[in-house]
Amino acid sequence: VFAHVPPYPGDPILSLMEAFQQDARADKVSLSIGLYFDEQGRLPVLDCVRQAAQALSQNAVPCGYLPIEGIAPYRQLVQDLVFGADHEAVRAQRIATIQSLGGSGALKVGADFIKRYFPDAEIWLSDPTWENHLAIFEGAGLRTHSYPYYDAATGGLRFDAMMDTLRGIPSGSVVLLHASCHNPTGVDLSREQWQQLIPVIVERGLIPFVDMAYQGFGDGLDEDAWSVRALAEAGAQAFVANSFSKNFSLYGERVGGLSVVCNDATTAANVLGQLKATVRRNYSSPPTQGARLVQQVLQSPELSAQWAGELAEMRGRIKDMRARLHHALHERFGERRDFGFLLTQRGMFSYTGITEPQVHRLRVEHGVYLIRSGRMCMSGLSRANVQHVADAIAHVLG
């Protein structure tokens, strides 16, 4: 019966993680998977989360089904965090927000909703983008295209080419944008560039789908959401997927949100209803614990402030690692090769320009693990291993 089912080749990033775990070398370094590690190479348990968990455990509540759309106060807190509590669209109640299974779940529910209510819409993704974007949107039956984004020659953005493409695509097309800390390149639009892009989106009737998986990892919680807020302010009707996997270090809890910015409250209520219908036929209702933890933190001014501080520490450590690696490479290469992109790219990832054969040599000869594309996860660096990584890179780049 199942003889025609082919083997699953596996996820390249997760397979690499397995290879890393089996590597016996003491000085091995994992710079592949997109997780935030602390200076000791551990996945942190945030103190605010620990306190929230303690508070929750003191008055255990039964674990019934949540509403299809998730916990009401949590959904409001998500909206306040993503858009700002004073945002006109929040106050006008013209945003429909559901609790989602991480950022991926938000993308999937959004993709299914788009397929049903905009059956002819096609989606445009940055070149390159997070690989699962393609899988999720194609899996939902949407046709995908790419718009120019990363400039391999400069380690920056092909902004003019991106704008030319977006000016030429059919109105009603969906455009996937990364709010900040672009995965996999680390290259973001500047505010000035967003200010040029947003009117084109609004005037051309394009539908932005903003993926915000790293809120707080670029410049700050409000700063990183600036583009989302500006889009909503300009009248764009938009999808926004946000994730608490990284910024709360709650990967396995699967907690996030999907918000749909509408023109008015009545439309938002209808959209919310159809998002619920989409969830109902998908997984019926979301899980409880992660959202309760996040709610517990966000509803308390003290815990929220603590969270912002812990997030600032993570952000600061990544920036410090960028600076240290840049310094170490500059010492080895001088003017022969420019690593300035390490300082301008933002968030957890950098596209290094290291080629696939060089990535292979880094792993085999030095135990330094990057993914095939040359994307480096900066949070795998620490003060203890950055010199080793710089030496390894210098060795393979020659």
Closer residue to ligand PMP in complex, CB, 110/256: 256
Q: To the nearest whole angstrom, how small is the minimum distance from the Cβ of residue 252 to ligand PMP?
A: 9
| Contact flag: residue 102 with ligand PMP (CB under 6 A) | yes
User: Rounded CA gap, 295 and 297, in Å?
Assistant: 5
Minimum CB separation of residue 181 from ligand PMP in Å reads 8
Q: By CB under 6 A, is residue 183 in contact with ligand PMP?
A: yes
Give the integer Cα–Cα distance in Å for 144 and 30: 31
Q: Catalytic: which of 130, 188, 276, 307? A: 130
- Give the nearer residue to ligand PMP in terms of CB position, either 13 or 394: 13
251 or 333: whose CB is closer to ligand PMP? 251
- Please report whether residue 104 would count as binding ligand PMP according to CB under 6 A: yes
Using CA atoms, how far apart are residues 213 and 180, in angstroms rounded to an integer?
A: 8
Q: Which stretch binds ligand PMP (CB under 6 A): 99-107, 285-293, 311-319, 329-337?
A: 99-107
Report the nearest approach of ligand PMP to the CB of residue 189 (Å): 15
Of 118 and 251, nearer to ligand PMP (C-beta) is 251
Nearer to ligand PMP, 75 or 178 (CB): 178
In the beta sheet, which residues pair with residue 390?
A: none
Distance, in Å, from the CA atom of 381 to the CA atom of 38, rounded to the nearest integer, reads 9
Neighbours of 14 (CB within 10 A): 10
In three-state secondary structure terms, 37 is: coil
Q: Is 144 helix (H, G, I), strand (E, B) or coil?
A: strand
Strand (E) positions, the chain? 29-30, 95-100, 123-127, 144-148, 150-151, 156-157, 174-178, 207-212, 238-243, 256-261, 349-351, 368-369, 375-377
Of 19-27, 68-76, 102-110, 324-332: span binding ligand PMP (CB under 6 A) = 102-110
C-alpha span between 189 and 206 (Å, rounded): 18
Q: Residue 218 interacts with ligand PMP (CB under 6 A)?
A: no
| Residue 303 touches ligand PMP, criterion: CB under 6 A | no
Q: Is 211 a catalytic residue?
A: yes
- Given candidates 34, 70, 155, 347, which one binds ligand PMP under the rule CB under 6 A? 34
Residue 258 beta carbon to ligand PMP: minimum distance, rounded to whole angstroms: 11
- The nearest distance, CB 69 to ligand PMP, in angstroms, is 18
Respond yes or no: is residue 124 known to be catalytic: no
State yes or no: residue 243 binds ligand PMP (CB under 6 A).
yes
* 177 in contact with ligand PMP (CB under 6 A): no
- Comparing CA positions, the residue from 106, 7, 34, 9 lying closest to residue 370 is 34
DSSP-assigned letters across all residues of 87-124: -HHHHTT-EEEEEESHHHHHHHHHHHHHHHHSTT--EE
Q: How far is the CB of 303 from ligand PMP (least distance, A)?
A: 21
103 in contact with ligand PMP (CB under 6 A): yes
Token code pair at residue 112? 């299914």
**Quick check: 140 and 112 in contact, CB under 8 A?**
yes
211 binds ligand PMP (CB under 6 A): yes
- CB-nearer residue toward ligand PMP: 139 or 205: 139
What single letter denotes the amino acid at residue 251?
Y
The verdict on 245 binding ligand PMP (CB under 6 A) reads yes
The correct pick among 130, 194, 248, 307 for binding ligand PMP (CB under 6 A) is: 130
93: left (phi over 0), alpha (psi -120 to 50) or beta: left
> Is 256 among the residues that bind ligand PMP (CB under 6 A)?
yes
Residue 114 · residue 123 · CB < 8 Å: yes
Could you tell me how many residues of this chain bind ligand PMP (CB under 6 A)?
A: 13
* 286 touches ligand PMP by CB under 6 A: no
**Torsions phi, psi of 361, nearest 5?**
-65, -35
Q: Which amino acid is at 205?
A: G
Catalytic residue among 112, 188, 211, 224: 211
Tell me the residue number closest to ligand PMP, measured at CB: 102
Residues taking part in catalysis? 130, 211, 246
* Interface positions with ligand PMP (CB under 6 A): 34, 102-104, 130, 178, 183, 211, 213, 243, 245, 251, 256
